[in-house]
Amino acid sequence: KQATEEIKEIVKKTLESRGKVLIPVFAIGRSQEVMIVLEHLMRHGEIPRYTVYLDGMIWEATAIHTVYPEYLNIDLRKKIFQEGENPLMADIFERVESYDRRREIVDSSEPCIVLATSGMMNGGPVMEYFKAWADGERNTLIFVGYQAEGTIGRKIQRGWKEITIGDKNITVDMNIETCEGFSGHADRIQLMKYVKNLTPKPKKIITNHGEESKCIDLAASIHKRYGINTLALKNLETVRFR
């Protein structure tokens, strides 16, 4: 719900000002989440109805989701099996199949939404749209995923107003937004519940892939609640498994 409200306000404002919305995404998972939210908002008239272009491997990844609907969440399964509607196959979505079509979209004066890879803007078709639309004050770039240190996406997110891509300096005048509501990771409650449901319980759990203080805190909580030996490793620290 938080993600839906965040993206609704940003997209609505941009499209009503006849700007372009660019959303860097990974092809699997995040793309489909955003597609479902956009389809819902357009179907209910909460944002203007414009074409949502899918560039990169998004179309192929989405096809896998549509082939196996029984593995989608319960709300989507209900829509597909009971109501005969699959939000991922809505007519608002168009696959960008060629370089020429991409250039047409880039050069068009019509408002639109583009979902394109790669998610951290270190390459991929998203860069073509960014280079063309970065200087447009009515355009908006929306981050819906984590931007790792050292990536172009991270620099833009931090407010850099000039980005060097190849031998070109790109001036960033477009609006930069981040939707925190989309997360590709389980939160603390979900992780604790996951450990609770493990059968049999593991002898050892290592917490990793997070801020050091949060890894330590989670490890301590798991040990306290479930009596499992836990480790929160630091960078370059090693552990031996027998």
Residue 208 has pLDDT above 90, yes or no: no
* Cβ–Cβ < 8 Å for 160, 172: yes
Instruction: State residue 13's pLDDT score.
Output: 98
Residues 61-105: tens digit of each pLDDT: 999 988 888 888 888 898 899 888 899 999 999 999 999 999 999
Give the start-to-end residue ranges of the domains of the chain: 2-178, 188-232
DSSP 89: G
Instruction: State residue 18's pLDDT score.
Output: 98
Instruction: State residue 55's pLDDT score.
Output: 98
Mean pLDDT score, 116-141: 97
- 2-178 maps to which CATH number? 3.40.50.10890
Q: How high does pLDDT run on average in the chain?
A: 93
Place 229 in a pLDDT band, splitting at 50, 70 and 90. Answer: very high
Residues 139-157: tens digit of each pLDDT: 999 999 888 889 999 999 9
Instruction: State residue 70's pLDDT score.
Output: 87
Query: Distance between CA 220 and CA 18 in Å, rounded?
Result: 51
More confident residue, 174 or 150: 174
Place 212 in a pLDDT band, splitting at 50, 70 and 90. Answer: confident
Residue 181 has pLDDT above 80, yes or no: no
Instruction: State residue 235's pLDDT score.
Output: 84
Instruction: State residue 183's pLDDT score.
Output: 63
Instruction: State residue 188's pLDDT score.
Output: 83
* Cβ–Cβ < 8 Å for 208, 222: no
Residue with tokens 């990974």: 26
Instruction: State residue 71's pLDDT score.
Output: 84
The answer, yes or no, to whether the previous bond of 118 is cis (omega within 30 of 0) is: yes
Q: Model's pTM, two decimal places?
A: 0.79
Mean pLDDT score, 30-59: 96
CB within 8 A of 26, min separation 6: which ones? 117, 118, 119, 145, 184
Query: Distance between CA 116 and CA 31 in Å, rounded?
Result: 9
